[in-house]
């Protein structure tokens, strides 16, 4: 009887292993990142008649943390180093802002010099650069690991199953500065939890004096940190827009550039 139970467990373990996606069968083509619910809400709401010109010089990782790895040195950062590009894309998709290029300003100025030299003999100068009315500053200020850990498990007579999870926390700050006066108009902060989960089941039993049966199956799921940072940035931009509307700095679908009519911003 024990032999039949052992054979049944082995067949069950082999069938479970066949259900796990293998790397060579799980290759998919590239795809466009889906739009989040926050961005869908912004695009469905009425936007300004004239988007606000903004500049972002840098929105970087300020945590200085590296990926934790056991018994080895790691120089991979815990969070993405491309948060500036994420913020620029979010500003464009929100319909409320028109970003001007400042992160690659030196490259832009070099190309303008080349164009001016080529057009110098024709007497045609390229137009001046667009200026920004708002300056957005901030960055990723915190990445806390193992803010919450736990799991469940059961094992009996060499047969067991367990589930474990871990939560990290990433936090960003975003502030809007009036270019004319240098005043910090608003500041918002958002956080996003990063979930990691592992599930496994296994068999470890001696079937006889010199025979050992062992089987194991499981999988892990790790939420991509860059998508968590992107969601936090999108929420921060949405909160910045909402706070600006409540404080009267701008409004939806108005007839002139929204930021120039506000009394606080007109002070220089």
User: Cβ distance 200 to 158 under 8 Å?
Assistant: no
Distance CA 75, CA 67 (A): 7
Task: At 230, give phi and psi (nearest 5°).
Answer: -60, -40
pLDDT at residue 250, as a whole number: 87
pLDDT at residue 224, as a whole number: 92
Task: At 194, give phi and psi (nearest 5°).
Answer: -110, 115
| Three-class SS state of 68 | coil
Give the burial class of 234: count Cβ atoms within 10 A of its Cβ; 0-12 exposed, 13-18 middle, 19 or more buried.
Answer: buried
pLDDT at residue 213, as a whole number: 87
pLDDT at residue 258, as a whole number: 43
| Three-class SS state of 171 | strand
Task: At 17, give phi and psi (nearest 5°).
Answer: -65, -35
Homologous superfamily of the 34-120+128-266 domain (CATH): ABC-type transport auxiliary lipoprotein component (3.40.50.10610)
User: Cβ distance 79 to 104 under 8 Å?
Assistant: no
pLDDT at residue 206, as a whole number: 83
Name the helix (H) or strand (E) containing 84.
helix 83-94
Domain ranges, ordered by start, for the chain: 34-120+128-266
pLDDT tens-place string over residues 84-100: 999 999 999 998 999 99
| DSSP tally for the chain: helices H, then strands E | 6, 7
pTM of this structure: 0.79
Rg (CA), the chain: 27
pLDDT at residue 26, as a whole number: 64
pLDDT tens-place string over residues 108-129: 999 998 888 887 656 567 888 9
Distance CA 140, CA 152 (A): 33
Query: Mean pLDDT of successive 10-residue segments in the chain (268 residues)?
Result: 54 53 66 89 86 94 79 75 94 94 93 83 75 95 92 89 94 96 95 94 85 89 93 96 91 54 41
């Amino acid at each position: 009887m024990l032999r039949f139970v052992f054979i049944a467990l082995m067949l069950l373990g082999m069938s479970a292993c066949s259900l796990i996606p293998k790397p060579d069968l799980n290759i998919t083509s590239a795809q466009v990142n889906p739009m989040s619910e926050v961005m869908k809400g912004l695009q469905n709401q009425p936007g300004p008649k004239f988007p606000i010109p903004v500049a972002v010089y840098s929105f970087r990782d300020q945590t200085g943390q590296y990926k934790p790895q056991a018994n080895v040195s790691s120089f991979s950062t815990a969070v993405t180093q491309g948060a500036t590009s994420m913020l620029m894309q979010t500003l464009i998709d929100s319909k409320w802002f028109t970003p001007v290029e400042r992160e690659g300003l030196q490259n832009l100025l070099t190309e303008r010099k080349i164009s001016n030299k080529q057009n110098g003999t024709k007497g045609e100068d390229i137009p001046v650069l667009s200026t920004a009315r708002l300056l957005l500053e901030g960055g990723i200020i915190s990445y806390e690991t193992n803010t919450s850990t736990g799991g469940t498990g059961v094992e009996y007579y060499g047969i067991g199953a367990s589930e474990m999870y871990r939560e990290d926390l990433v936090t960003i700050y975003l502030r809007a500065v009036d270019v004319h006066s240098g005043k910090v108009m608003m500041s918002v902060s958002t956080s996003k939890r990063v979930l990691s989960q592992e599930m496994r089941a296994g068999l470890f039993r001696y079937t006889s004096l010199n025979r050992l049966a062992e089987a194991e199956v499981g999988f892990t799921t790790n939420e991509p940190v860059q998508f968590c940072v992107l969601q936090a940035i999108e929420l921060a931009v949405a909160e910045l827009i909402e706070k600006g509307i409540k404080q009267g700095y701008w409004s939806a679908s108005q007839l002139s550039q929204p930021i120039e009519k506000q009394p606080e911003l007109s002070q220089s």
